[in-house]
Homo-oligomer: A and B are copies of this chain.
Amino acid sequence: MPRYRATVEYAGTAFHGWQRQRNVLSVQEVFEETLARLVLEPVTVFAAGRTDTGVHALGQVVHFDLKKAWTPFRLQSALNFYFRPHSVAVLSLEEVAPDFHARLHAVERCYIYRLMNRRAPLCLDKKRAWHIITPLDVPDMEKAAQYLVGQHDFTTFRAKDCQSRSPIKTIYEIRFMQEGALIEMYIRAPSFLHCQVRNIMGTLVLVGRRVWPARRIKTALEAKDRAAGGPTAPPHGLFFARVVYPAKRGLDHVQRKN
């Protein structure tokens, strides 16, 4: 059975997250139902990350098996055609080795969290950024964020329902960009706990608003207690930006003549 890897963009607004659930629409359901319609059999789609309700994806990565081989170009076109009117699109698609796994083989994930820091309500960035009216001290937020870089017990920034076996995670980098009212946080790690990025953002905003001194992030982290952390930032500012696989995994896709 040929295996395919797809890089996927979606606007999270209309979906109850990636994962299939009863009675509500998920990206996984749209993806699987569209594939089933194309190949006339049920297909399971595995994603690199399970995004929550309202969270967007710029570069989610998924894999799935089909019984018959398709040319990647035709499969991508057909998927994009039948995804409509849903806000889901396959940006690229390729055949990969039959043991490739979108989630298990990912070595790095990158999220972007967007803030719009201004008094006026959002028009063009509505549902694409967290609107914060109080002026934020971005250099202080970036400074505070550095306490989180490295390997730590992230219990303070972990959702109660998080299913990860361990709260110990490694953050490679947290970086901020500011341009006018737009503030973006880039965060890279091998993997994340449930709601980790949103809990970090919600807490860093306390620093930005000068409710917390930067150093309190360190105290909060060391408390290993969710109650010591700040609130969870809303999902509509979060973008699942990129997934990295080892170079080998990028090269070992089957070259099939079509």
Measured CB to CB, the residues of A under 8 A from B are 9-11, 56, 58, 76-77, 80, 83-84, 87-91, 118-124, 126, 128
* Contact A124-B76, Cβ < 8 Å, known A91-B118, A118-B91: no
Expressed in whole angstroms, the minimum distance between the Cβ of A214 and any Cβ of chain B is: 29
- 9 further A-B contacts with Cβ under 8 Å, apart from A76-B119, A87-B123, A89-B121, are A11-B124, A56-B124, A58-B124, A80-B121, A87-B124, A88-B123, A89-B123, A90-B120, A91-B118
**B91 and A9 form a contact (CB under 8 A):** no
Expressed in whole angstroms, the minimum distance between the Cβ of A129 and any Cβ of chain B is: 11
* Measured CA separation A80–B84 after assembly (Å): 34
Which of A9, A91, A122, A124: most chain B CB closer than 10 A?
Answer: A124
Expressed in whole angstroms, the minimum distance between the Cβ of A176 and any Cβ of chain B is: 18
**B120 and A89 form a contact (CB under 8 A):** yes
Q: 3 nearest interchain CB pairs?
A: A89-B120, A87-B123, A11-B123
The residue from B9, B90, B118, B121 contacting A124, defined by CB atoms under 8 A apart: B9
Residues of B with C-beta under 8 A to A118: 91
13 CB-based A-B contacts, threshold 8 Å: A9-B123, A11-B123, A11-B126, A58-B124, A77-B119, A80-B119, A80-B121, A84-B121, A87-B124, A87-B126, A89-B121, A90-B120, A91-B120
